Amino acid sequence: MKKTTKLLTVTLAMVMAACTLTACGGGASEGNTITFGTNAEFPPFEYVTSNGVIGEYDGIDMAIAKQIAESNGMTAAVENMEFDSLLVALQNGQIDAVIAGMTATDERRETVDFSTTYYTATQVMIVKEDSDIAAATDMADKKICVVQGYTGEICVQNMGYSYEAFKKGTEAVLELVNGKCDVVVIDSATAQKYVGDNEGLKIVEDPSAFESEEYAIAVQKGNTELLDKINSSIDKMLADGTVNELAVKYTEEATAE
Ligand code: GLN
């Protein structure tokens, strides 16, 4: 009896070791790792760099993800994919959570659960310095660029304007710099980064047209175990000023580059 139990334990340990080595099961991690899905094209929240906080990934979200994992005695891993694929990957169980400057919208809430809000943003318009666009309604007869699947696209759609959608924010901004479009609608902090990186651009705000947006972390519907861990870490990081410090740090870094 004792011998059998021991044998079983050893066998189980060997199977588990093999699993760790070959990452069997693939995709979303079990046990001691939280695999966060992101789209590392959204500075200052997530971007690729040579020496990031999680491997090659850096930014406000990446630092938050790392702390969430560590404060729960776990490790954070990142899977980088297109923004449009994130919620599907989450539902498929390929990733455990999404942290991607993602706005918790009612539509998204139909398929996933969101954490406590950790950052509030708004859509803004990036235009050339000499542009006559001063309000959202001025975009009516202009060429508008957005990023596919971002809330900026949804806003412009709801306003009834036609637009062109790009896969990446950098592509949309390049179009503006090259004079091929008149305005890019995108999230505020990311807009600041792009305006800092490119000469001759400015930001136009219109709070009457763009509502504030709450960034939150998404988990599979009903995954309260992970959501509780995430929420308790976020609450702590909000209360002790960590989120604020990270926002300041990465915004300064982003504009200083
Ligand atoms: N906040 C926007 C959204 O949720 C953009 C997010 C992003 O590009 N990472 O759609």
Query: CATH assignment of 28-120+214-256, given 3.40.1360.10, 3.40.190.10, 3.40.50.620, 1.10.10.60?
Result: 3.40.190.10
Ligand 1 residue neighbourhood (C-beta within 6 Å): 39, 42, 83, 100-103, 150-151, 187, 213
| CATH number given to 123-211 | 3.40.190.10
Question: What is the rounded CA–CA span in Å between residue 191 and residue 203?
Answer: 7
Q: What is the mean pLDDT of residues 206-235?
A: 98
Q: Where are the chain's structural domains?
A: 28-120+214-256, 123-211
The rounded Å distance from CA 244 to ligand 1 centre is 19
pLDDT digits (tens, 9 = 90+) for 108-138: 999 999 999 999 999 999 999 999 999 999 9
Ligand 1 atom at shortest distance from the alpha carbon of 103? 4
For atom 5 of ligand 1, the residue with the nearest CA is 150
Q: With pLDDT > 70 as the criterion, what percentage of the chain qualifies?
A: 87
Token representation of residue 153 = 């696209």
The alpha carbon of 18 and the centre of ligand 1 are apart by a number of angstroms equal to 38
For ligand 1, mutation pick of 187, 190, 193, 210 (most atoms within 8 Å of CB): 187
Q: What angle do CA 37, 39, 43 make, to 5 degrees?
A: 125
Expressed in angstroms and rounded, the spacing between residue 56 Cα and the centre of ligand 1 is: 20
CB 104 within 8 A of CB 215: yes
Q: What is the model's pTM?
A: 0.85
The yes-or-no answer to whether 28-120+214-256 and 123-211 have a common fold is: yes
> Binning pLDDT at 50, 70 and 90, where does residue 256 land?
low
Cis peptide before 43 (omega within 30 of 0): no
